[in-house]
Amino acid sequence: MPLSVLEEVRDELVCYPGAGASIMEISHRDKRFVDLLHEAQATLRQLLGISDDYEVLFLQGGAALQFSMIPANLLRGTGKTAQYLLTGSWGKKAIKEAKKEGDALSIYDAGETNYDRLPAAGDYQVADDAAYLYYCSNETIQGVQFTDEPACPDSVPLVSDASSDFLCRPLDISKYGLLYACAQKNAGPAGVTVAIVRKDLLQRSPADLPGYLNYNNHAEADSEWNTPPTFAIYVLGKIAKWLRDDIGGLDAMLQQNQQKSQTLYQVIDQSNGFYRGHAQTEARSLMNVTFNLPNDDLQASFIAEAAKHDLAALKGHRSVGGIRASIYNAMPVEGVNTLASFMKDFAKANG
Ligand code: PLP
């Protein structure tokens, strides 16, 4: 989280200005909270240029509930097939849930190379009548990120799990049928998930879905079908404003993210093979830099030594091993520079 936002939240925690109470103590129906919710939606619309053709919903259940809500609303009962591009662990989890709701088919799976790449042109074919094409724009565990939206026929809604790269760069939302992201990487605390849904797709939702699972209920009730995660929405609104006012918008955020990730990839590429990047060069993520060291002992010693420099949370996920440096929006350039110099020193001493 950006330090300035944390400090603002700290200052307002006990008494939200004008409310005489904490934001956590006022009702979600209170005008002051409803105004905050609307402001958060409006700032997201402004940052991403989201048109009135889309709903901006604040939901609960994390990104994981979207693995089920998407097929429940957009696939169930259509007689169509949902098609999935699998470029990492989160896409795999998503299709597993989708199969419980209907016919979900993987049309590209990079599992053979342990999800180190993206599909090249011609690697997959989307059926013109597919219910939707699903992909994960940034596979957090493998550190594999799409630079552009994957090719998809106009007749097929594109659905994206943008949980770990939401707000890291500008996007053309008009290319999507639905884009969602849990907040806890770039957009706020855990507890709220943003779903940007093209309004015409809402007609697909079967009427007999459990109430919470039906997007229409959230759209009609303006994300207050039940008590929304008020504190998380309040912080998300502040982060959206930080991006707009302090960073200068998503183009500026992208520039910073490119600079930060390049700094680390350069160290990897100039290490004479001491560090080996997991993702292929064209698939490298701006958010999660994944790499391996020559052996497990060196990896353990890298993590232990890094901790002495206050560099934490570097252990890679067990499915990939090695190191994962997550450098989300809020990670300052100086933090990345510290890691880069540590990596150079460590390679010099141990290479
Ligand atoms: N999708 C992606 C790309 C993620 O990175 C994560 C969590 O790290 C998830 C889905 C799951 O999110 P949640 O724990 O909010 O369900």
The question of whether 308 is a catalytic residue gets the answer no
Residue 182 has pLDDT above 90, yes or no: yes
The question of whether 246 is a catalytic residue gets the answer no
- Report whether residue 202 contacts ligand 1, using a CB cutoff of 6 Å: no
pLDDT digit string (tens) for 204-214?
Answer: 999 999 999 99
What is the 158 CA–ligand 1 centroid distance (Å)?
A: 19
Same domain for 178 and 84 = yes
What is the 76 CA–ligand 1 centroid distance (Å)?
A: 23
pLDDT digit string (tens) for 83-137?
Answer: 999 999 999 999 999 999 999 999 999 999 999 999 998 999 999 999 999 999 9
Same domain for 77 and 35 = yes
Number of structural domains in the chain? 2
Q: How confident is the model at residue 351 (pLDDT cuts 50, 70, 90)?
A: confident
Domain CATH code at residue 165: 3.40.640.10
Same domain for 144 and 14 = yes
Domain CATH code at residue 260: 3.90.1150.10
Same domain for 115 and 75 = yes
> The domain containing residue 37 runs over which residues?
3-247
- Report whether residue 163 contacts ligand 1, using a CB cutoff of 6 Å: yes
Same domain for 313 and 222 = no
Among all chains, which residue has been given the structure tokens 């090695």? 322
Same domain for 170 and 140 = yes
- Taking the CA of residue 65 as reference, the ligand 1 atom at the shortest distance is 16
Same domain for 238 and 256 = no
Which position among 92, 116, 165, 185 bears the catalytic label?
A: 185
Same domain for 214 and 75 = yes
CB-based contact 198:217 (threshold 8 Å): no
What is the 115 CA–ligand 1 centroid distance (Å)?
A: 17
* Phi, psi dihedrals of residue 324, rounded to the nearest 5°: -130, 115
The ipTM (two decimal places) reads 0.99
What is the 143 CA–ligand 1 centroid distance (Å)?
A: 13
What pLDDT sits at residue 311?
96
- Report whether residue 89 contacts ligand 1, using a CB cutoff of 6 Å: no
Collect all residues with Cβ–Cβ distance below 8 Å to 88 and sequence separation of at least 6. 110, 115, 136, 139, 140, 141, 142, 144
What pLDDT sits at residue 238?
98
Task: Report d(CA 229, CA 184) in Å as an integer.
Answer: 13
Name the pTM for this structure: 0.97
- Report whether residue 182 contacts ligand 1, using a CB cutoff of 6 Å: yes
What is the 219 CA–ligand 1 centroid distance (Å)?
A: 23
Of 247, 282, 310, which one is at a domain's C-terminal end?
A: 247
- Report whether residue 165 contacts ligand 1, using a CB cutoff of 6 Å: no
Distances (CA, A) of 148 to 91, 153, 169, 274: 17, 15, 11, 30
The question of whether 185 is a catalytic residue gets the answer yes
Token duo for residue 44: 């997201």
Q: Classify burial at 193, counting beta carbons within 10 Å of its beta carbon; exposed 0-12, middle 13-18, buried 19 or more.
A: buried
Same domain for 271 and 160 = no
Same domain for 108 and 161 = yes
Question: Residue of the nearest CA to atom 11 in ligand 1?
Answer: 63
Token duo for residue 163: 């949980």
Q: How confident is the model at residue 319 (pLDDT cuts 50, 70, 90)?
A: confident
pLDDT digit string (tens) for 262-282?
Answer: 999 999 999 999 999 999 999
Same domain for 265 and 237 = no
Task: Report d(CA 308, CA 312) in Å as an integer.
Answer: 9
Of 231, 247, 263, which one is at a domain's C-terminal end?
A: 247
Q: Which amino acid is at 254?
A: L
pLDDT digit string (tens) for 138-162?
Answer: 999 999 999 999 999 999 999 999 9
Same domain for 303 and 223 = no
Of 222, 247, 272, which one is at a domain's C-terminal end?
A: 247
Question: Residue of the nearest CA to atom 9 in ligand 1?
Answer: 63
